[in-house]
Amino acid sequence: MDSFAGRIAVVTGGGSGMGRELVLQLAAQGCSVATCDVNADGLTETARRAQKEAPDGTRVTTHLCDVSDETQVTRFRDEVVEQHETDHVHLVFNNAGIGGGASFVTGDREEWDRTFAVCWGGVYNCSRAFVPLLVASDDGYLVNTSSVNGFWATLGPGFPHTAYSTAKFAVKGFSEALLEDFRIYAPHVKVAVVMPGHIGTDIVTNSRRLHGQPDPDRMSDAELDEMRADLARRGLAMELADHELRGFMKMVGEGFRENAPTSAAEAATIILEGVLAGEWRILVGDDAHRIDAEVRADPEGIYRSSKPLLAPPV
Ligand SMILES: NC(=O)c1ccc[n+]([C@@H]2O[C@H](COP(=O)([O-])OP(=O)(O)OC[C@H]3O[C@@H](n4cnc5c(N)ncnc54)[C@H](O)[C@@H]3O)[C@@H](O)[C@H]2O)c1
């Protein structure tokens, strides 16, 4: 694929972060986009900004859809076919995701299952729904977002991330398995796995909200005590008053976005350049390249190391 102009793309999770930036950059290059999210306000803002920059004739449609729910994904696919008056699409970006499910041992099962259902189930459901439309095109590309947690299954010492990492390994494995499948049965369709490092988005705050966790200002005494106990188990015993702990929690969410080495817009540009270059493995950020090299150099030792490879979000 040498240009996005005149193509039709599907982007999941387009209401924020990298998904929003993918929509904006694709539309600005004359690619029609259908994007879904569970956040209606986020979608409206994305569409407003995308339409301002898009050349005439470029369509941007928004769709409320929870990618972990196959019935909703099927409806989303049907809306795309109808609203874009098409029987095919050229690009599918399986981008929607949430963090969560940190500990398999002590964590809440509902949170674990929801994280896995969105991060893996969403990629699976959307691939089931949209791969036939990619196959129906003359030139298709499936782009699945994994993470550095798809080759390194922790956020570092003291920070297990079990549901997310398990899902992201699945996304990577599925994408690599499709390489040969497409080569034999749909040679005009390509697949890529995207492995971002730390990217400046609101994923920490968004994930808390989507798991139904309270805003730090509304955390109860019991929730604050549990947070203190959890930080202590991770070796981060801090003598913080309630208001300081609430401030710390907010800072983690905002700091995750503001202190990232790569912005969401830069990440989207790297992803789209990788697609135009025909790559199947798109690493995003110097940190992703570094962690990939460190894991390959010492695959066993990487889990014994007490050295954090990423700035630890909570
Ligand atoms: N930000 C990072 O550092 C980072 C690193 C590696 C991988 N990733 C991955 O990149 C992708 C994009 O994340 P982001 O950082 O832009 O986060 P983000 O929170 O800014 O954007 C994700 C979007 O997905 C949406 N979403 C969540 N659950 C959904 C569902 N069930 N159905 C539909 N939409 C849903 C959210 O509402 C949000 O708008 C995710 O798959 C994430 O796991 C992010």
Provide the residue ranges of all domains of the chain, joining segments of one domain with +. Answer: 8-201+263-284, 204-259
**Residue carrying the six token digits 């995308």:** 50
303 - beta bridge partners?
none
Average pLDDT over residues 179-194: 98
Residue with the bigger pLDDT between 15 and 252: it is 15
Q: How far, rounded to the nearest angstrom, does the alpha carbon of residue 262 sit from its chain's CA centroid?
A: 15
Query: Quick one: DSSP state of residue 54?
Result: S
What pLDDT sits at residue 244?
86
Instruction: Name every residue whose Cβ is closer than 8 Å to that of residue 236 and which is 6 or more positions away in sequence.
Output: 158
Quote helix, strand, coil % in the chain, to nearest 5.
Answer: 50, 15, 35
Q: Tell me the backbone φ, ψ of residue 278, rounded to 5 degrees.
A: 75, 20
Q: Among the CATH numbers 3.40.50.720, 3.40.47.10, 2.60.110.10, 3.20.20.70, which is that of 8-201+263-284? A: 3.40.50.720
pLDDT for the residue 290: 96
- Whether 15 is in the pocket of ligand 1, judged by its Cβ within 6 Å, is yes
Lowest mean pLDDT among 37-46, 154-163, 270-279: 154-163
CA dist 150 and 161 (Å) reads 11
Average pLDDT over all residues of the chain? 94
Q: Per-residue confidence at 306, pLDDT binned at 50, 70, 90?
A: low
Can you give the pTM of this predicted structure? 0.95
pLDDT band, residue 314 (cuts 50/70/90): very low
Is the model's pLDDT at 62 over the cut of 60?
Answer: yes
Is 58 touching ligand 1 by the criterion CB < 6 Å?
no
Give the span between the Cα atoms of 33 and 21, in whole angstroms.
12
Give the distance (Å) from ligand 1 centre to CA of residue 204: 9
99 backbone dihedrals φ, ψ, rounded to 5°: -85, 170
CA–CA separation, 295 and 119 (whole Å): 22
Ligand 1 in reach of 145 Cβ (< 6 A)? yes
Q: Residue 217 in contact with residue 242, Cβ under 8 Å?
A: no
Choose among 127, 144, 146, 145: nearest CA to 186: 127
Q: Is 200 in the pocket of ligand 1 (CB under 6 A)?
A: no
- The confidence score (pLDDT) of residue 311 equals 59
H/E element, 175: helix 162-185
Q: Write the DSSP symbol of residue 121.
A: I
Residue 217 has pLDDT above 60, yes or no: yes
The pLDDT of 217-244, averaged and rounded, is: 83
Instruction: Give the integer Cα–Cα distance in Å for 102 and 198.
Output: 17
For residue 185, report the distance from its CA to the centre of ligand 1, in Å.
30
Q: How many residues does the chain have?
A: 314
pLDDT tier for residue 305 given thresholds of 50, 70 and 90? low
